[in-house]
Amino acid sequence: MDKVAPRGNSSRFMLEVVTVEEKGGGHKRLQSVRSIDDEYTPTIFEMAQLVSGPRNDSIGPNFFQWKTTAYGSRDASRENAIRCRYSPLQTANRTLPGPSIAHAYFGEGLGRSHSVAAINISFGGEDGEVYAEKGYLSWSALLGFGTPPEDAFSPLVMAIVAVGLGTPVVLLLAGGLVVLFARRKHQSQYEPIN
């Protein structure tokens, strides 16, 4: 959002994500997971994801995944970070407004033949002044079929870490052995007379 006028003095923006699936399907779970990747979200390592279980063997799971931060500028830096909070998954069978895309697509029997759940995601701090100061809000999410992507270290990163941490350890051990053997070599066999 860029320069959208808030309706109040301390407005916070909120997004409601509604999920619709046939009744009898796999259950959905909302998870908070840790991520090792902060390339696009500096210093933010928490990720939230909504994962639905597979209904049967032919239809696999699907997911909705997002970082728990938004940004108040086009530059995604820590200074521009806006906290993103989300509510627990709530069933919304009777509270979904009538004129919606879900009603248009699924028809009038939406509540009877499908289960509807919703998550509220809010952006901003406790004071609500974050958007008013900057006038910009950027947030992204990932929606997909299958299992959610998981972070893992690549072999190149593992090799770099092994060389970076292994080299000093090897040098310390080699230096200690050289000093130990050098001391033993320089001990003379001369015994004092007194």
163 falls within a domain: no
Domains in the chain: how many in total? 1
Tell me if 120 sits within 8 A of 87, measured CB to CB: yes
| Of the ranges 90-94, 102-106, 109-113, the best mean pLDDT one | 102-106
**Helix/strand/coil for 19:** strand
For the segment 31-49, the average pLDDT, to the nearest whole number, is 74
174 falls within a domain: no
Which pTM was predicted?
0.67
Q: What is the pLDDT of residue 175?
A: 94
Nearest to 70 by CA among 163, 1, 166: 1
40 falls within a domain: yes
172 falls within a domain: no
Q: How confident is the model at residue 182 (pLDDT cuts 50, 70, 90)?
A: confident
From the number of C-beta atoms within 10 Å of its C-beta (0-12, 13-18, 19+), residue 118 rates as: middle
Residue numbers of the domain that contains 64: 13-145
Q: What is the pLDDT of residue 29?
A: 86
